[in-house]
Amino acid sequence: MKAILLKEFGGTENMIFGDTDTPSIGDDEILIEVCATSVNRPDIVQRQGNYRPPPGDSEILGLEVAGKVVKLGANVSRWETGDRVMALIGGGGYAEFARAHQDHAMEIPENMSFEEAACICETYLTAFLNLFILGELKNNQIALLHGGGGGVNTAAIQLCHYLVPQTQLIVTCSSGKVERLETMGVTHVIDYQTQSFSEEVARITNKKGVNVILDHIGADYLSANMRSLAAYGRLLLIGVMSGVKAELNLAIMMVKRQQIIGSVLRARSTDEKAEIISQFNQHMSNALANREVVPEVHQVFPLSEAARAHDLMESSSHFGKIVLKIT
């Protein structure tokens, strides 16, 4: 099969469109003929050599796929060949075929394209897990989302609008994305290039702070994030783009009873992922089927041009998801 292979870790020049073996599947797995996959920030980190896949998962990049089931493992009962599915995988998405656990796949609604479906499993599940399962975000609370133009955060905005419509959103972004976020219905958009987000949060909330923060920046934002949290507030840390080490005022954290929750999706157990997917499906299947929630697709590249797609993501000039089309 055709796939994107790495000559070595490093820059996009090491991404080769070549041939490799079609994956074999286990008894509880399905083989998917991939029609589309998407580019996620962890793909960049893995390409650079800093995020190896869990044991047993493919070394090929790609954490989510959409396509058709072409082969069933011996124990698979919930799928049939020909079914249209979108799936969360531990690796292997940048290829013509990928394997997935049967409980990590969801049916693609009839009126959803493969390109749209390829955007659901990594980003929407990450947003859902962190905001609603771990973060326990409720109506009439306030959430701060960092990096408003990225895939996880555009998904998070949509999930908040649908699941907790009375929740107030504050979103940070670069200067060129303010109007796009306002078009998505975000009331408070902070341009982090010209404004201090902690000062703006204090102004917007009358110094009370926010209940939940979703952050992928890490070290550089830690102090300002903690200042921006309300009493009993929860910081969900899903990335460390700015580094892994920072100072923390433990006394303030104790007095305000705040929580910092570190979270990744890829390293979770098979059963944990299946439970997250089940809960997401229960809450969101109708919204996806009725197109009340539709992924923001920025651009679609052929698989052979995956290096260009990575360059685009690294430029941070995109808004929403970057998709790779296979067939």
- Specify the pLDDT at position 36: 98
* 84-88 and 105-107 beta bridge pairing: antiparallel
- Specify the pLDDT at position 69: 98
Q: In angstroms, rounded to a whole number, what is the distance separating the alpha carbons of residues 35 and 32?
A: 9
Is residue 126 within 8 A of residue 45, CB to CB? The reply is: no
Q: In angstroms, rounded to a whole number, what is the distance separating the alpha carbons of residues 214 and 319?
A: 18
Q: In angstroms, rounded to a whole number, what is the distance separating the alpha carbons of residues 277 and 221?
A: 30
Contacts of 11 (CB under 8 A, 6+ apart): none
Q: In angstroms, rounded to a whole number, what is the distance separating the alpha carbons of residues 321 and 10?
A: 23
Closest CA to 22 of 55, 60, 50: 60
Closest CA to 32 of 112, 114, 109: 114
For the chain, the straight-line distance linking the first and the last C-alpha, in angstroms and rounded, comes to: 12
Say how many C-beta atoms besides its own lie within 10 A of residue 44's C-beta.
17
- Specify the pLDDT at position 215: 95
Closest CA to 178 of 199, 156, 149: 149
What one-letter code names the amino acid at 78? R
- Specify the pLDDT at position 200: 96
- Specify the pLDDT at position 149: 87
Q: Which domains does the chain have, with CATH numbers?
A: 2-119+266-325 (3.90.180.10), 124-262 (3.40.50.720)
Number of H helices, E strands in the chain: 10, 15
- Specify the pLDDT at position 240: 85
Is residue 41 within 8 A of residue 309, CB to CB? The reply is: no
∠ CA 98-104-106, nearest 5°, is 95
The angle, 0 to 180 degrees and rounded to 10, between the axes of the packed helices 270-289 and 151-163 is 70
pLDDT along the chain (327 residues), means of 10: 97 97 98 98 95 93 98 97 98 98 98 97 97 97 92 96 97 91 94 94 97 94 94 94 87 93 94 97 97 96 98 94 95
- Specify the pLDDT at position 248: 87
- Specify the pLDDT at position 327: 78
Q: In angstroms, rounded to a whole number, what is the distance separating the alpha carbons of residues 291 and 300?
A: 20
What does the pLDDT look like over 16-29, one tens digit per residue? 999 999 999 999 99
- Specify the pLDDT at position 296: 94
φ/ψ bin of 139: left (φ > 0), alpha (ψ from -120 to 50), beta (otherwise): beta
